[in-house]
Structure 1
Amino acid sequence: MTDPTDAPLREPDLAEPADASTSLDEDNRLLPGFVDQVCEALDAGDDEAAYDLVEPLHPADIADLFELVERDYRGPLARAITDLLGADVLTELNDYVRDDVIDALPAAQVAELAGQLETDDAVAIIEEMEEEDQRAVLAELEPADRAAIVDALSFPEESAGRLMQRDLVAVPEHMNVGQLIDYLRENSDLTTEFWEIFIVDPQHRPVGTCQLSWILRTPRHIALADVMKRDQTLIPTDMDQEEVALRFQKYALISAAVVDGAGRLVGQITVDDIIHIVQEEAGEDIFRLSGAGDGDINEPVRETYRTRVRWLIANLGTALVASSVIGFFGGAIEQMVALAVLMPIVAGVGGNAGTQTLAVTVRALATNQLTESNTRRAILREMRIAMLNGATIALIAGTATALWFHDAHLGLVIAAAMQTNILLAGLAGVVIPVVLEKLDQDPAVASSIFVTMTTDSMGFLAFLGLAVASGLVSL
């Protein structure tokens, strides 16, 4: 039963079309009552009622609807609103939800939708399909669209070749501004959305660019060679998309030419594609640090389980290292229960310090802020920060321990252990991801395990070892 606080004041009949007052709340989110109505119509087999409810929605809201309904409803919903399910809806869908929707549609309709999309968006849909389904969809495409998508699929995943758009405007450098304007007006087959025009030589290699604003403000008789910008950032087709995003960020690009191995212009990448990549890569690194997989609530349970359980098994193995350190000092712990009480504090604070440094280092590596040129300086910086943090935490922890247990000796031991472990945590947090990067391993994936193992085992070793070395307890 729908909660009355979540539903609109008056629930419309299933066949009554939705509008902003009956489908969206004040934050422009679909109301639970509206989502329930759509599901009830689908349960009743009343596709017409479901269609009438969905028809007034904006494409972005239709995409939200697909993500809000249970997975079993996505196929029936897609089939019920076929002509409302356009390319603008597909591009808004979560990847996992889009797969469910595509699986429910016939190959001919998928091909029709793919033909409406930019090449990069069409590739994003088709590349995730089974090989047999790919062939069926490609067979339904227009020859030109099919050739463009097959060509894109030949490039590595997450490369500029997969990401680029084939639709662009390129003209020879011998033109003047007036000829270019006439060319743009007379050729209806040109792409309708572009920010700059690429100037190419006879071998179709880019030699410069002209922004539309320059063209509109320049007299017709001026040659393009006199107004074009010759300095440009060229993107190789095999460049990783993360590196492409960094180029856009560094040089403040709106669009950039993509060239093949011979330097010929084969496509362009625009900033709207880069925004998606930046969001995707940033989220990917965060979830990798925690071992949470893609971190997507629409990801199938089995895939999420496989990703997370591997991480937990690895953590179990590293935890055994810390446990073996504790086992070695078992006799000392039996002599003073306070040691067992304080051990987790040393390890926990060290772990948090290591995580802070690790997060900063992984981000710096991902954004090219940390390179071979400044690695030594970065390590020294983190060590200075760790020294200051360690001194502060050691003073607080040592004083509190001495007062709580009425034992100044114990307070000095935990203060020294805190300082030592936080220093080691800072060192591990920057060195481990840097080393993994040198070994061509993703530092966002494996660093956390090694940093946690270091801070736990070294924290226990420092605290218990200092307690024994200082004569507080004996082995």
Structure 2
Amino acid sequence: MADETPEAASREDDSDALRRERMQEILLALDAGDGARLGHLFDQLHPADIADVLEQVGDRTRQQLLRFWGRDIDGEVLSELDEGIRAEVIDALPDSVLSEAVLDLESDDIVDLVEDLEEDRKEAVLDALPAAERLAVERALSYPEYSAGRLMQREVVTAPEHWTVGQAIDFLRVEDKELPDQFYHIILVDPTMTPVGYVTLGKLLASRRSTPLRDITEHSFRTVRVDLEESEVAYLFNQYHLISVPVVDADDRLVGVITIDDAMAVLDDEHEEDILLLAGVAEESSLSDSATETAKLRLPWLAVNLATAILASLVIAQFEGVIEKVVALAVLMPIVASMGGNAGTQSLTVAVRAIATKDLTGSNVWRVVGRELVVGILNGLVFAVVMGLVALVWFGSSMIGVVIALAMIVNLAVAALAGILVPVTLERMGVDPALASGTFVTTVTDVVGFFAFLGLASVVLI
């Protein structure tokens, strides 16, 4: 493995260099106004790479690219774009170009593109679709946002449950032009169009023609209701290692299928959202946003942090006399607060992730709380000894060492508890635990840290 690492690093460097070189060529062609050259360069790129180019350049350059090349844009490029950039790109495209771009997309991708469009633009795209596909998209748009109905694609490969392998293969060969571009299972249905199982393509090709399809169905088979939240759908895929899952209506009739790529995109969005919220950054934030837009999005949580900082300062103000008499306390206070904040963030990160993956539940929450409390106390003891010795050497006072040692134990224990209990409490109140947990935990560790340290000092030292 060690021998492979330099080679892997070299390949990564080569890939980065190639991307920079392509970007440079694109910008040079743009500066020269060479539309043919631009088209040639983009034809060599994967839609995801073209989306990266459009996301990485500035607003003015992006508009220039769309003027020279936009009429050749592919629907897959639009699907790969970040939502904020996608809206800007779509606004820059004529209705005819936009309609043409979406024609080759699966129904779930079309839904993802048109759901946020202005009504007139949405109608222009829908009017360009074949009647059956338009009906499928409109039906999907009627389902709640962020539901399985919005996430699914209507293109499904089905077979009667009584068919054999040979009959299924013959059907696929006859209907090859009507099949989805990518599919992983043949879904078996009964006469009422209720899915009863599915067969992987690998099993299909590896079995004899006379084998009944019901004899080679997968044990992983399950269905989801059309109104199930997409986050729950993504959890099922991750938990049970699914590749695709049929979607059914209230009468258990098949209405679509969700594939692993869409489920993993949801899971990725959920993780990204949690990371941004933990940092107090709006989930709509993007690298393409202007400075003014970014400042407006971040301002509210900075204001909340200011309020909590003032609260901590009010605690400090109660001990002004103690600090005046023992100046060393002012030097050591930030250490106690900082250690508590870091310890709280560690517990908080573990808790939010565990809640998101459903590993932290009512059945094990108190066991986890107990574990985190023990961890906090153990870490507190270790750093209590360290800081006690530091204070003794630095200020020549054993009592200051005792005070900061005790404060360290108290604050790290409280930080560990807050890091678990705050997100769990918010989650039970119906509030996203990633949204406000960081602010609450930091407030608790600051207030408790300062109060414990200065309070102990006023008792022990004064």
TM-score after normalising by structure 1: 0.89
* Alignment partner, residue 330 of structure 1: 320
Contact 1:176 1:222 in 2 (8 A): yes
Matched, 1:61 2:52: no
Alignment match of 1:222 (pick from 194, 211, 215): 211
* Alignment partner, residue 5 of structure 2: none
Q: CA deviation at 1:249?
A: 1.4
Within 5 Å, give how 1:374-389 maps onto structure 2: 374-389=364-379
Alignment match of 2:87 (pick from 99, 108, 126): 99
Q: How far does the alpha carbon of each residue in 1:173-204 deviate from its partner, in whole angstroms, 9 at most, with x for none?
A: 12222221211111232224211111111211
Contact 1:39 1:69 in 2 (8 A): no
Q: CA deviation at 1:56?
A: 4.0
Q: Out of 203-212 and 88-97, give the one that drifted further.
A: 88-97
Alignment match of 2:352 (pick from 359, 362, 376): 362
Q: Distance in 2 between matches of 1:463 and 1:107?
A: 66
Q: Distance in 1 between matches of 2:184 and 2:228?
A: 22
Contact 1:206 1:257 in 2 (8 A): yes
Percent identical pairs in the alignment equals: 45
Contact 2:224 2:247 in 1 (8 A): yes
Matched, 1:113 2:104: no
Q: Distance in 2 between matches of 1:391 and 1:230?
A: 51
Q: Out of 423-432 and 215-224, give the one that drifted further.
A: 215-224
Describe the shift of the 1:82–1:169 C-alpha distance in structure 2 as closer, same or farther (beyond 3 A): same
4+ long deviations beyond 6 Å = none
What code does the residue aligned with 2:339 have? V
Q: Which runs of 5+ in 1 are unaligned?
A: 1-22
Contact 1:176 1:224 in 2 (8 A): yes
Alignment match of 1:234 (pick from 220, 223, 231): 223
Q: Distance in 1 between matches of 2:368 and 2:15?
A: 49
Contact 1:434 1:443 in 2 (8 A): yes
Q: How far does the alpha carbon of each residue in 1:32-63 deviate from its partner, in whole angstroms, 9 at most, with x for none?
A: 63243144135xxx544544554444433322
Alignment match of 2:449 (pick from 443, 453, 459): 459
Q: Distance in 1 between matches of 2:244 and 2:45?
A: 32
Q: Distance in 2 between matches of 1:464 and 1:41?
A: 68
* Alignment partner, residue 151 of structure 1: 139
Describe the shift of the 1:264–1:182 C-alpha distance in structure 2 as closer, same or farther (beyond 3 A): same
Q: CA deviation at 1:357?
A: 0.4
* Alignment partner, residue 4 of structure 1: none
Contact 1:122 1:149 in 2 (8 A): yes
Contact 1:163 1:241 in 2 (8 A): yes
What code does the residue aligned with 1:416 have? L
Q: Distance in 2 between matches of 1:363 and 1:160?
A: 23
Contact 1:148 1:166 in 2 (8 A): yes
Within 5 Å, give how 1:11-410 maps onto structure 2: 26-31=17-22, 33-42=24-33, 47-48=35-36, 50-82=38-70, 84-187=72-175, 188-229=177-218, 232-294=221-283, 295-410=285-400
Q: Secondary structure at the match of 1:429?
A: helix
Q: Secondary structure at the match of 1:257?
A: strand
Contact 2:26 2:38 in 1 (8 A): no
Q: Distance in 1 between matches of 2:42 and 2:251?
A: 49
Contact 1:339 1:464 in 2 (8 A): yes
Contact 2:185 2:198 in 1 (8 A): yes
Q: Distance in 2 between matches of 1:113 and 1:174?
A: 40
Contact 1:196 1:209 in 2 (8 A): yes
* Alignment partner, residue 6 of structure 1: none
Q: CA deviation at 1:230?
A: 6.2
Contact 1:107 1:137 in 2 (8 A): yes
Q: CA deviation at 1:206?
A: 0.8
TM-score after normalising by structure 2: 0.91
Q: CA RMSD in A?
A: 2.0
Alignment match of 1:415 (pick from 405, 419, 426): 405
Q: CA deviation at 1:225?
A: 2.7
Describe the shift of the 1:230–1:392 C-alpha distance in structure 2 as closer, same or farther (beyond 3 A): closer
Q: Distance in 2 between matches of 1:178 and 1:47?
A: 51
Q: How far does the alpha carbon of each residue in 1:77-111 deviate from its partner, in whole angstroms, 9 at most, with x for none?
A: 22322454112322332222222211111122212
Q: Secondary structure at the match of 2:246?
A: strand
Q: How far does the alpha carbon of each residue in 1:221-272 deviate from its partner, in whole angstroms, 9 at most, with x for none?
A: 2322333246622122222222212111111111111111221111111112
Contact 1:155 1:161 in 2 (8 A): yes
Q: How far does the alpha carbon of each residue in 1:137-161 deviate from its partner, in whole angstroms, 9 at most, with x for none?
A: 2233222222222122222222211
Q: CA deviation at 1:435?
A: 0.4
Q: Distance in 2 between matches of 1:343 and 1:50?
A: 60
Q: Which runs of 5+ in 2 are unaligned?
A: 1-13
